[in-house]
């Protein structure tokens, strides 16, 4: 699903399917982009 589909049509589809909760999340760059020990430390934080 794209955020463009998160409008009234999407809500109608959810209602028709009995879905009452929608979770939207965005993940930023992760620890895999940080080299060496700094990346390991970030992943463990």
8 A C-beta contact, residue 32 and residue 21: no
Q: What is the pTM of this model?
A: 0.43
Task: Summarize the confidence of residues 8-12 as an average pLDDT.
Answer: 85
Our count of domains for the chain comes to 1
Using CA of residue 26, residue 3, residue 9, residue 13, what is the dihedral sign?
Answer: negative
Residues of the domain holding 11: 3-44
Higher-confidence residue of 3 and 24: namely 24
8 A C-beta contact, residue 13 and residue 29: no
For the chain, give percent helix, strand, coil, nearest 5. 55, 0, 45
Q: Is the pLDDT of residue 19 over 60?
A: yes
């Amino acid at each position: 699903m794209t955020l463009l589909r998160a409008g009234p049509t999407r809500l109608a589809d959810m209602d028709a399917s009995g879905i009452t909760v929608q979770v939207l999340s965005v993940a930023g760059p992760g620890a895999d982009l940080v080299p060496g020990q700094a990346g390991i430390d970030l992943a463990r934080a």
